[in-house]
């Protein structure tokens, strides 16, 4: 039996720390209350841009779903767009305190990840997930939502598990 040696961790050189933390222009390793407030203000100002960006991605999702449902020659490309857009939205939700948006987008992305062209029930599930994303944004549901939202997410998870096929 070979004897394993313990790993040896070497601390990073001070030069790396100096590059990572700019004490003249940036923030220290621990945020002071005024620095945290300034960062929160930046995020709040970006919220309007975030809302517009998500709204545009949702419109593109809906258009892609229409292309897939019509079965036209852009259906394969539209499915790739659905996967890509849902992944984008998934990554955006948490930063702006929309974890429910992230959860619905993740559900959509997971459902469509390895999917070819969907059948009628799968199209209905994709449409329901996109509708849920619209509702979260339209009602500005931050946090985890309430019992209704949690039940809807659970129901969508059950539907995706039941009707997923590659």
Q: Would residue 61 count as lying in a domain?
A: yes
What is the CATH number for 54?
1.20.120.160
Residue 135 maps to a domain: yes
Assess if residue 122 is contained within a domain: yes
Q: Print burial letters for 36-73: b (CB count within 10 Å at least 16), e (below 16).
A: eeeeeeeeeeeeeebeeebeebbebbbebbebbbeeee
Specify the pTM: 0.73
Q: Which domain holds residue 135?
A: 48-163
What tens digit of pLDDT does each residue of 1-44 get? 566 777 776 766 666 555 554 455 555 556 678 877 787 777 67
pLDDT tens track for 57-112: 999 999 999 999 998 899 999 999 999 999 999 998 877 889 999 999 999 999 99
In a domain, 33, yes or no: no
Does a structural domain hold residue 66? Answer: yes
The alpha-helical segments, DSSP class H, found in 27-97 are 33-70, 75-93
For residue 55, tell me if it sits in a domain.
Answer: yes
When divided into structural domains, the chain yields a total of: 1
């Amino acid at each position: 039996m070979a004897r394993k040696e313990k790993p040896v961790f070497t601390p990073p050189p001070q030069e790396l720390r100096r590059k990572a933390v700019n004490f003249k222009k940036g923030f220290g390793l621990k945020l002071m209350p005024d620095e945290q407030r300034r960062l929160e203000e930046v995020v709040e100002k970006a919220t309007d841009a975030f809302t517009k960006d998500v709204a545009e991605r949702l419109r593109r999702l809906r258009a892609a779903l229409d292309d897939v449902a019509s079965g036209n020659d852009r259906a394969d490309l539209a499915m790739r767009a659905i996967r890509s857009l849902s992944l984008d939205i998934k990554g955006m939700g948490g930063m702006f305190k929309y974890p429910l948006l992230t959860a619905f987008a993740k559900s959509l992305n997971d459902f469509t990840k390895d999917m070819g062209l969907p059948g009628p029930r799968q199209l209905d599930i994709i449409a329901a997930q996109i509708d849920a994303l619209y509702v979260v944004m339209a009602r500005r549901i931050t946090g985890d939502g309430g019992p209704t939202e949690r039940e809807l997410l659970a129901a969508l998870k059950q539907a995706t598990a039941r009707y997923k096929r590659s």
